[in-house]
């Protein structure tokens, strides 16, 4: 007779299931003793009726809440250990303490990136690097930090890669559903508001600092949304990430509203490159997109090392030839105490 048959027979005869040892002995023979059977047991109806809601431990284990009728649960020695409420996971194998560095119990790794977006009369330029890092560890040098939401909308990634990718891909789906329901393309403001509403529902539970850029009826648009549910609109630019201060410095020196498309592309590329040159957590490749009235265009995908040779040909030549690069002597002002700009 099968084990299920034995269980059913015993239950019908006595109204209560026998202990796991008796059932196992009859089903499998004496070769399976208590030690080999381990945690295997079949609870009685009495035990099930006395059960309280489960308790979720910090370690992720679900354990039984302490029963109000402990005297009945202790009648069977085999069940006493199983019915007892505990705050420790079985055998301590998956306890939270097993996964924490005891020397650095509260260690938090820094994330690094540089993303940039700015508006000009011809549209929006979005430029990013491609390095994914966790502290001093470089996880990847070829991350695609610009998410193509639809042919007119782009989103950038800064913070946690998984969080940004998930929510922006979900936004892509919602933008398509909006088009099907309303018969028109979603505006950049509406798309960013949907993203912001999600961030508000899960406020501060993620690591997201994204720009939503696009072109709609209002012209070129640029919004910033982060995991604290902050949503900002810009008439100029945003830069997000550990290298943003370096990118802002180059951008501020060269931006003007009436830039040509080529000037805007060069400015975006140069801003991100200089950020990767100074910020240890940014690097890899510089990716540049241009958004115009008829949609976005993927402009370039340049290696930072090749850009270094473009922007600093003399330094690059000295490095490649193993020579020593000497800076030109700076021209002093009349007093001789400060370099002339």
Query: Which residues are catalytically annotated?
Result: 113
Q: What is the 3-state secondary structure (H, E, C) of 130-146?
A: CCEEECCEEEECCCCCE
Longest Cα–Cα distance of the chain, Å, equals 110
CA distances from 151 to 83, 120, 135, 148, 172 (A): 59, 19, 34, 7, 10
Measured between alpha carbons, how far is 76 from 59 in angstroms, rounded to an integer? 29
Measured between alpha carbons, how far is 289 from 153 in angstroms, rounded to an integer? 11
Q: Which of 306, 257, 311, 316 is nearest to 286 (CA)?
A: 306
Measured between alpha carbons, how far is 157 from 209 in angstroms, rounded to an integer? 7
Measured between alpha carbons, how far is 277 from 285 in angstroms, rounded to an integer? 11
Helix segments in 51-109, DSSP class H: 70-73, 77-83
Please report, to the nearest 10 degrees, the dihedral formed by the alpha carbons of residues 46, 50, 52, 58 taken in order.
-60
């Amino acid at each position: 007779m099968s084990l299920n048959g034995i269980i059913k027979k015993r239950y019908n005869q006595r109204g209560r299931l026998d202990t796991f040892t008796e059932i196992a002995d009859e089903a499998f023979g004496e070769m399976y003793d208590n030690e080999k059977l381990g945690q295997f047991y079949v609870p009685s109806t009495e035990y099930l009726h006395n059960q309280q809601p489960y308790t979720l431990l910090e370690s992720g284990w679900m354990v039984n809440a302490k029963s109000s009728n402990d005297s009945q649960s202790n009648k069977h020695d085999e069940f006493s250990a199983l019915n007892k409420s505990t705050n420790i996971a079985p055998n301590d194998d998956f306890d939270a303490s097993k996964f924490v560095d005891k020397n650095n119990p509260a260690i938090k790794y820094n994330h690094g990136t540089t993303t940039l977006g700015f508006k000009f009369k011809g549209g929006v330029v979005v430029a990013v690097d491609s390095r994914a890092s966790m502290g001093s560890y470089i996880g990847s040098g070829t991350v695609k930090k610009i998410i193509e939401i639809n042919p007119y909308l782009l989103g950038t990634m800064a913070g946690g890669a998984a969080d940004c990718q998930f929510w922006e891909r979900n936004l892509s789906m919602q933008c398509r559903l909006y088009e099907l329901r309303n018969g028109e393309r979603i505006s950049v403001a509406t798309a960013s508001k949907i993203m912001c509403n999600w961030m508000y529902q899960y406020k501060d539970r993620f690591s997201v600092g994204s720009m939503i850029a696009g072109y709609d009826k209002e012209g070129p648009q640029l919004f910033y949304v982060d995991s604290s549910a902050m949503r900002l609109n810009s008439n100029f630019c945003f830069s997000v990430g550990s290298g943003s201060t370096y990118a802002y410095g180059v951008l501020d020196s060269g931006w003007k509203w009436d830039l040509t498309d080529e000037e805007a592309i060069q400015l975006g590329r140069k801003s991100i490159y200089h950020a990767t040159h100074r910020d240890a957590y940014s690097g890899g490749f510089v990716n540049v997109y241009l958004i115009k009235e008829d949609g976005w265009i993927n402009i370039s995908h340049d290696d930072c090392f090749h850009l270094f040779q473009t922007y600093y040909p003399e330094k690059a030549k000295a490095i490649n030839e193993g020579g020593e690069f000497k800076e030109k002597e700076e021209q002093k002002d009349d007093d001789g105490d400060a370099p002339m700009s």
